[in-house]
């Protein structure tokens, strides 16, 4: 069976002085999703970007904007990103006072919803809210900073998440994407896909490998990722 794989460049690794062009180039190079990391310096020890940036880039691309909220409390900020043009909004269970209610809020605002799991966060939360989830995002690094290495033990957790998702899809017919974020590169993306991921966030691996000789600067690195997936 041919599987659809989606590549989601994380713009946190892009050149913010030319962010609009970076997004145009990376999507034109063959990626699928704009991954948008939001950190609040409370839930994670870093401060990044907010809804104004999401609103600014929304007119630049028809690609899906996937907003990953590393904030606490999360309910306050969800409406701002829905209004700013997010297509998918994911958050961490630890960031919500009431997970079901937060997922429902995302959907009520017209976005797809998802839960994010840190390496040490158990997947048990999924068992009670699968009907409100469109994406499961597993962190393969501990969030807060880019450029970290993939944690190999996450392959087992990916397989466990895939098993849960497949059982739910077989029962309901509804698709849930399984996304991985952290340390993804051309050397390990095939093993990550074999473990069950279908959507791959890549930041440094893409944006640190721009080539001015490529028509869209990122064609070569994206092709390398695609070739690794095609070889499975």
- Domain extent listing, the chain: 6-230
Q: Is the pLDDT of residue 213 over 90?
A: yes
User: Which residue among 25, 37, 40, 134 is the active-site one?
Assistant: 37
Tell me the C-alpha distance between 89 and 84, whole Å: 11
Tell me the C-alpha distance between 168 and 172, whole Å: 6
Q: Is the pLDDT of residue 144 over 90?
A: no
pLDDT of residue 148: 73
* pLDDT band per the 50, 70, 90 thresholds, residue 117: very high
pLDDT of residue 142: 86
Close Cβ partners of 195 (under 8 Å, ≥ 6 residues apart): 155, 156, 158, 159, 162
pLDDT of residue 29: 98
Q: Is the pLDDT of residue 15 over 50?
A: yes
Per-chain mean pLDDT for the chain: 96
User: Which residue among 40, 134, 181, 198 is the active-site one?
Assistant: 181
Average pLDDT over residues 131-157: 89
End-to-end CA distance of the chain: 12
Quick one: which of 22, 7, 12, 52 has its CA closest to 143? 12
pLDDT of residue 164: 98
Average pLDDT over residues 54-71: 97
pLDDT of residue 163: 98
pLDDT of residue 14: 97
What fold, for 6-230?
A: TIM Barrel (3.20.20)
Quick one: which of 134, 109, 118 has its CA closest to 51? 109
Q: Specify whether 212 is catalytic.
A: no
Average pLDDT over residues 162-176: 97
Average pLDDT over residues 140-168: 90
> pTM of the full predicted structure?
0.96
Q: Specify whether 75 is catalytic.
A: no
Which residues share a beta bridge with 137?
116, 179
Average pLDDT over residues 100-126: 97
**What proportion of the chain, given as a percentage, has pLDDT over 70?**
97
pLDDT of residue 143: 76
């Amino acid at each position: 069976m041919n599987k659809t794989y989606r590549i989601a460049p994380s713009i946190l690794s892009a050149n913010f002085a030319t962010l609009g062009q970076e997004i145009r180039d990376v999507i034109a190079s063959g990626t699928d999703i704009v991954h948008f990391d939001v950190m609040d310096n409370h839930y994670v020890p870093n401060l990044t970007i907010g809804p104004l940036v999401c609103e600014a880039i929304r007119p630049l691309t028809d690609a899906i904007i996937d907003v990953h909220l590393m904030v606490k409390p999360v309910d306050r900020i969800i409406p701002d990103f829905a209004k700013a043009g997010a297509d998918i909004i994911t958050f961490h269970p630890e960031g919500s006072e009431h997970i079901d209610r937060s997922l429902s809020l995302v959907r009520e605002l017209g976005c797809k919803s998802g839960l994010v799991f840190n390496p040490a966060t158990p997947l048990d939360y999924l068992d009670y809210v699968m009907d409100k989830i469109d994406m499961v995002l597993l962190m393969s690094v501990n969030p807060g900073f880019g450029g970290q290495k993939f944690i190999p033990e996450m392959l087992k957790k990916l397989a466990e998440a895939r098993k849960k998702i497949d059982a739910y899809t077989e029962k309901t017919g509804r698709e849930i994407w399984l996304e991985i974020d952290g340390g993804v590169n051309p050397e390990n993306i095939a093993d990550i896909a074999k473990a069950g991921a279908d959507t791959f966030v890549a930041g440094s691996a893409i944006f640190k490998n721009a080539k001015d000789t490529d028509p869209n600067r990122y064609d070569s690195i994206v092709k390398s990722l695609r070739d690794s997936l095609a070889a499975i």
